[in-house]
Chain A
Amino acid sequence: MKSQLNVSSIVAIMVVAGLVLLPVYSNLTGNIFILTLFTRIVILALAAVSLNLIMGYGGMMSFGHAAYLGIGGYAVGILAQEGIGSGWAQFAVAIAVSALYALVIGALSLRTRGVYFIMITLAFAQMAYYVASGLARYGGDDGLTVYKRSDFGGLINLGNRVQFYYLCLACLLAVVVLVWRIVNSRFGLVLQGLRSNEQRMQAIGFPSKRYKLACFVIAGMLCGLSGALLANNTDFVSPAVMYWTRSGDLMVMVILGGMGTLMGPVVGSVVFLVLEEVLSQLTEYWALIMGPLLLLIVLFGRGGIMGMLGRVNRG
């Protein structure tokens, strides 16, 4: 609770500092690849942070979070193809449609809990996946190329690698700060109370469902933003981005870094995606190493990386 400088906050600060200074390193060494890699990491970290709001703080195991990556991405791709290049419009639509989707899916899914909630969120995301596959006009299965990145006028040029990286990082940090504020607000305390004991919260006077739904919608909007950035990063969006394995990846990032910790999902995303990159260069069968490694962390490091660091601190 106290704002003391413990091991996990030091690690969190170092991660942020590293992310801020990364383009400088990339520039000095001429290593462009690392900037590309980390742009993707920062964008997916944003998605993981939004998932952590539902999963870590709200206690709702959503297994369909990648749907928002697709919705955000297709908002950018479809509008770009239809000749609306304005980033403001594209991002606004990405976030608004994500909110709407979350509202409908949430209202239906939140009638269930536990395993059923996991399965129903998964089912809806798969539905979104098949809908996208059926969009013949927008590439169907093959996906949709985004020929021109979102246009924010003279403000920022998304075509510039460094500028785009910093935009993504700014979004990530803004969302982390937002989540930090939310978690300690009235709303956030209710949310964490619901995670701990929903019946008790109802007994002391909270209509639980509307708070959970609001949380679901907020997280959906934030992930929609991530999706819009992702489509700009890859200049491409396809149904694959919504596939259930991607939702699983996001969950792993959150659990690996530490559910219900502020920086856990960011750390988890960096570790997960860097490992994936490094291991896949070593061997074709990288998943054989990655899987057991994750298993070990989940089995022996309860609370993920941030949880383990917290225990180091306590001795």
Chain B
Amino acid sequence: MAEPLLRVDNLVRRFGGIIATDHVCLDVAKGEIHAIIGPNGAGKTTLISQLTGHLAPHAGRIFLGGRDISHFPAYKRSALGLARSFQITSLLTDFTAADNVALAAQAHDGKHSFRFFANARKEKGLRDAARSALERVGLSHRADVLVSKLSHGEQRELELAVALATKPQIMLLDEPMAGLGVTESQRMVKLLAELRNEVSIVLVEHDMEAVFALADRISVLVYGRIIASGKPDEIRQNEEVKRAYLGDQHVVVGHG
């Protein structure tokens, strides 16, 4: 079998006596949407943070395109095509939407940023890249608005535009639907569905409707451990999953 784009091998992370990531193995193929679900406190964000390099694992390895990136700092992983959106929107609030995206493009256009004189807001290449990423998520008309003035839904879309502007091979999306209204959620699902052919996605999400609509595969994380992994239908019928997770959230799934 060909090497998957992202492979996680027996990753372990402890916080004191708690094992937040318990020998997690995971792989994501090219063009795949792999969802990670699990109850609150299951260690989903902890896992994502280790994948992006913001948190060091205590054991185990992470491979991107066959390369061991376990000890790479965050910025190097970004350079290799790993992008992340944050659970709590963490954009640069005193910049405009276009500035946020242009900065991401600036980090990836092959030139360093030790340029002290030329006005970066007038660099055509960066502005064009920003515009096309914003267009992609349907935010072109809001390009010159300060992030602090954008609605929550628009900020989530902007998060995605920023991730896209880094020209990623794989995106780790930490609850992109969090706090979105019904229509906004549907738009986000549609957007992610469109992206599936260009970029692999690891999707951490509580919105089961979205997860089952989008995911090629689903892994279920409970107390730091992956208790099941497979196609959406298999997960839906898995007894252990029903007990451990879907059971106490049957209301959510019932509507799905």
Contacts and interface: CB of A to CB of B under 8 A. Distances in A.
Contacts of B102: 189
Interface stretch (B8-16, B32-40, B59-67, B83-91): B83-91
Interface residues of B, number: 39
B115 A187 contact: yes
B75 A206 contact: yes
A307 to B, nearest CB: 13
Interface residues of A, number: 26
Given A189-B99, A190-B103, A204 B78 contact: yes
A211 interface: yes
B79 interface: yes
A18 B123 CA distance: 36
A185 B107 contact: no
A202 B54 contact: yes
Contact of A187 (B79, B86, B114): B114
A185 B118 contact: yes
Contacts of A187: 113-116
Contacts of A204: 78, 83, 103-104, 107, 162, 165-166
B95 A192 contact: yes
A186 B75 contact: no
A220 to B, nearest CB: 15
Given A184-B120, A185-B118, A190-B103, A202 B113 contact: no
> Is the contact region of chain A dominated by helix, strand, or loop, or is it mixed?
helix
Interface string A204-220: 11111001001000000
Nearest to B122: A184
A198 to B, nearest CB: 10
A214 B107 CA distance: 17
A203 B83 CA distance: 7
A41 to B, nearest CB: 27
Contacts of A182: 116-117
Contact of A202 (B78, B96, B114): B78
- Chain A CB within 10 Å — which of B54, B99, B106, B166 has the most? B106
A196 interface: yes
A192 B106 CA distance: 14
Interface string A116-156: 00000000000000000000000000000000000000000
B92 to A, nearest CB: 4
B244 interface: no
B73 interface: yes
B116 A189 contact: no
A185 B104 contact: no
Interface of B: 52-54, 73-76, 78-79, 83-84, 86, 90-96, 99, 102-104, 106-108, 113-121, 123, 162, 165-166
Interface of A: 1, 181-182, 184-190, 192-193, 196-197, 199-208, 211, 214
22 contacts: A181-B119, A186-B106, A186-B114, A186-B123, A187-B114, A190-B106, A190-B113, A196-B95, A199-B90, A200-B86, A200-B91, A200-B92, A202-B54, A202-B73, A203-B54, A203-B83, A203-B84, A204-B166, A205-B79, A205-B104, A211-B113, A214-B114
Given A185-B116, A189-B95, A200-B90, 16 more contacts: A181-B119, A186-B113, A187-B116, A189-B99, A189-B121, A192-B92, A192-B95, A196-B95, A199-B54, A200-B91, A201-B103, A204-B104, A205-B78, A206-B75, A206-B107, A207-B75
9 A-B pairs with the lowest CB-CB distances in the bound complex, closest first = A205-B107, A205-B78, A202-B74, A196-B92, A186-B113, A186-B120, A186-B115, A204-B104, A207-B75
